[in-house]
Structure 1
């Protein structure tokens, strides 16, 4: 990896969850969520980003989202199921990302709102106008993702240091 190559982070919200009588952490995907997770996986593949690492919440709906989406990627990255991603604030998510090994270039973080949307907003000091406008208009619905880039080490990632390059959300 050359120091001139920006690192990329994809912040990916889990797909639509069902509401059975189970604890929040154990909620599975709804039928629509399974469909949207596959579509999101194809859209992730379309980005052309060769993911080195996926950091995924331990919640059932995020694990199911990733299990479906990753099947659409040309290369399956190493996946780490991280308890701290569940119900995390943007600051807590930055701490998790700061611990990423330096040999990792591109990461996807599969998590929950409001943390994922908040993190996209906090990290993006700059943005492609169209991506920011789409994210502002749509919010961060289930199965949406934002693509950000930044220069430097993972330890240097902090608010305002990234650029929002792209944003995608399923049609409703």
Structure 2
């Protein structure tokens, strides 16, 4: 795979979580979250992006979101559950993505706010169409995702190098 081919990274926030009497890491999805995760999965499948890798936080709500979303995909990518995603800053997420091997062309990261939204804003040096305007207007609610593209190796992923291609969020 040539590093000259554009790579795509999807930043996907977990769906709406419930608030039972458990630690934050153990919070499950709410009923609405289960519905939105499946819808987000269909929307991601509709992009036609053939994901090679999914990096998912170890938190229960992210694992449940990914399980419901990936069920909608025609091809299930390799999934790595990564504890460093939980409560990660945008800089920590960039460092994690920089470790991705260059045989991975397209990846999805399933994580949490404020890290996921911050990362989308930091990476996007430009945007196509109204994707940036929609993301700025909506923020990054539960189950939202941003599709970004960049050129070069994963270790070259840094602030401002990507183009925001698309943004989706469930309706309230």
* Structure 1 match to 2:48: 48
Distance in 2 between residues matched to 1:4 and 1:117, nearest whole Å: 27
Report 1:18-167 matches (<5 A): 18-167=18-167
SS state at 1:72 partner: coil
Distance in 2 between residues matched to 1:88 and 1:3, nearest whole Å: 27
Structure 1 residue 4: deviation in Å?
3.4
Structure 2 length-normalised TM: 0.99
Structure 1 length-normalised TM: 0.99
- Where do 5+ consecutive residues of structure 2 fail to align? none
RMSD: 0.7
Distance in 2 between residues matched to 1:134 and 1:102, nearest whole Å: 31
Distance in 2 between residues matched to 1:17 and 1:138, nearest whole Å: 19
Distance in 2 between residues matched to 1:64 and 1:81, nearest whole Å: 12
Distance in 1 between residues matched to 2:67 and 2:94, nearest whole Å: 24
Q: Which runs of 4+ in 1 moved over 3 A?
A: none
SS state at 1:33 partner: helix
SS state at 2:71 partner: helix
Structure 1 residue 5: deviation in Å?
1.6
